[in-house]
Structure 1
Amino acid sequence: MDKAKLSLFSAALGGLSSLVPPVAAAPTTFNTALPVSQGEVLLRAQTQFLRASEDPGPLDRELEVLVFPLVGVYGLTPRLALFGIFPLLDKELEVNTPLGRQTREVSGLGDSTFLARYIVYWWDAPGETFRIAPFVGLEAPIGEDDERDALGRLPQPLQLGSGSWDPLAGGVLTWQTLEWEFDASVSYQANTEANEFEFGDVARLDMLYQRRVGSFHWQGGVPHFLYAGLESNLIWQDRSQIVGRNDPNSGGLTWFLAPGLQYITRRFVVEMAVQIPVVQDLNGQALETDFNVILSFRMNF
């Protein structure tokens, strides 16, 4: 995988609803168009573990990335929500070198993403809602982009940050009833150059379908719900550029399927999903992903 942080902002962005219960079902791996009440603050904490070890080249690379994306959302108006995503990263790469098998690793705060999402169309009926919302954002170079170890400067994809300011835009559609939910999102991130390196631009098509599979009443209080769903993440990345020249071992097309569960109460949600690659049509000797496990907790105030 050319850029381990590619899916981090999308995985962190599953929106939250002001429907009853106040925290509702939503995607785990991308954004949703459900509203955030004016003046409401929503917090989401995730743990992601990504492993990529399918190396078609002689370096026999094995990459493990542990990510803790912290997400804050604020409802500025009934239609406009502001997002901030701050990922804590731990990256470890094992690779063959002329000196033998070596491990290169780095930990710290990664690049942060700031987004604004505006609901342009909505329709409500008893027990049903439909929303369309475009969003725009910017990934800011907060993470360190010149980390070094005993072997020298770490390769750019292993750095905590890119060093570049990267704009992104897209739109999301959500159709939710009391029993099921459908979400779809398209987005594009234009990555820019820094440190004589430019990650390839990224385009995504994400979808979710999930259904309520159980409800629970604890001591006669507000019911809790269990949802099961399947998310689809189709991700295309252009080739990266090094000193203005294309890197032949970067970019390509990946399609993930992510089965998941969500346990929903009135004030918080516990959720999990596992992204499994079903198609990886990557360029050259780009490293392929094995899986990505996502555990998440979200709450509103």
Structure 2
Amino acid sequence: MNALKKFIRTGSLLSLFTTMLLLLSLSPTKLLAHEPIFGLGPNTIFKGGFGIETKYEKELLTGVDEPERTTSFRAEIMYGVTGDLAVTLSVPTIFGYTKRDSEGSRSGIGDISFRTKYRFWRDDKPGVQDAAAVIIGIKLPTGDYENTPALGSGSTDYLFALAAARASRRWYYFGNVRYRLNTKGNTIQFGNLFLADAAFGVRPWLTEYLKPDLVVMVELNWESRQRSKTEGQIMANSGGDRLFLSPGIFLTLRNWAIKGGVQIPLWQKMNGSQRETDYRYALAIEVHV
């Protein structure tokens, strides 16, 4: 049975990847806009266009009891309603949630999310573009939260964000703030989450627009989570603050991109007794059609 599940899971991933490659080979040329790897940017997609992204993510937590590893595969589809308005569906599959103790590991669909992005400001100048956007999203309790380890939070949560950027032929600057409002799920209400990100990118070599293009990025990612509650009581071992330094790369060729990065914790202050993040990393493939 386990072998069958692994075969189905692997086959699904390969099918999705193959579909992306077919779309890539058949689609006309559409240039990709750059955005942070771990934060959010203001860029949208052309009217009627689709952006398809598959992302592999991994996180290691240590410090209390046994290490905890979360590995996930995330598929995102973005659609351009207009040139300034885009909607995105994000479906995570947690296929390697592992703890080296009696709790073992589990796999399955996580919490599906949906978000809209409206670019309300864009200013084009010779060689420079400035832009800003507002993002609103919702996360649904589609992941199993009744067993351990849980694949979802069991709650319907809401995202509110503001992002801005300046892009030129050589330099990129990004900034965004995000607030996730969490509601009660099952018996636990996880603490609300505030995130702030700043990113800086540079194109080491100026190339032709239809040639392979490399941008090197460095991000600072701040996370601050409030304490969680259970049955109306504050949980002592919950909430805290984290600051990450996140180097990464963004390699594009016409309408497709490969991007990846690693989040290195610079400072962590967790409340009570909690695991801390050793590292996070992400690798993604994206195509616009």
Give the aligned partner of residue 128 of structure 1. Answer: 128
Matches of 2:240 and 2:285, distance apart in 1: 32
Matches of 2:75 and 2:126, distance apart in 1: 34
Identical aligned residues as a percent:
26
Task: Deviation per CA, 1:256-300: give whole Å up to 9, x if none.
Answer: 110011111111111110001101011011110000111111110
Structure 2 length-normalised TM: 0.86
Q: CA deviation at 1:21?
A: 6.6
Query: In structure 2, what residue type is equivalent to 1:125?
Result: K
Q: Which stretches in structure 2 are left out of the alignment for 5+ residues?
A: 1-28
Give the aligned partner of residue 115 of structure 1. Answer: 115
Q: CA RMSD in A?
A: 1.6
2:13 counterpart of 1:22 = no
Q: CA deviation at 1:35?
A: 3.0
Q: Which moved more, 1:206-215 or 1:254-263?
A: 206-215
Give the aligned partner of residue 260 of structure 1. Answer: 248
Q: CA deviation at 1:141?
A: 0.8
Task: Deviation per CA, 1:129-173: give whole Å up to 9, x if none.
Answer: 1111011110011111222xxxxxx2xxx3111111111101100
Matches of 1:237 and 1:271, distance apart in 2: 27
Counterpart mapping for 1:172-187 below 5 A: 172-187=163-178
Matches of 1:113 and 1:171, distance apart in 2: 18
Q: CA deviation at 1:118?
A: 0.6
Matches of 1:62 and 1:291, distance apart in 2: 12
Counterpart mapping for 1:1-301 below 5 A: 22-55=31-64, 60-89=65-94, 90-95=96-101, 102-147=102-147, 154=148, 158-214=149-205, 222-301=210-289
Secondary structure of residue in 1 paired with 2:116? strand
Query: In structure 1, what residue type is equivalent to 2:84?
Result: R
Matches of 2:184 and 2:39, distance apart in 1: 26
4+ residue runs of structure 1 moved beyond 3 angstroms? Answer: none
Task: Deviation per CA, 1:78-130: give whole Å up to 9, x if none.
Answer: 111101111111311234xxxxxx24221110001110111111100122111
Q: CA deviation at 1:24?
A: 2.8
CA contact (8 A) 1:44 1:70 kept: yes
CA contact (8 A) 2:135 2:160 kept: yes
Matches of 1:237 and 1:21, distance apart in 2: 38
Q: How many residues align?
A: 260
Matches of 1:103 and 1:145, distance apart in 2: 14
Task: Deviation per CA, 1:169-195: give whole Å up to 9, x if none.
Answer: 011001101111111110101111121
Matches of 1:193 and 1:205, distance apart in 2: 24
Matches of 1:274 and 1:118, distance apart in 2: 28
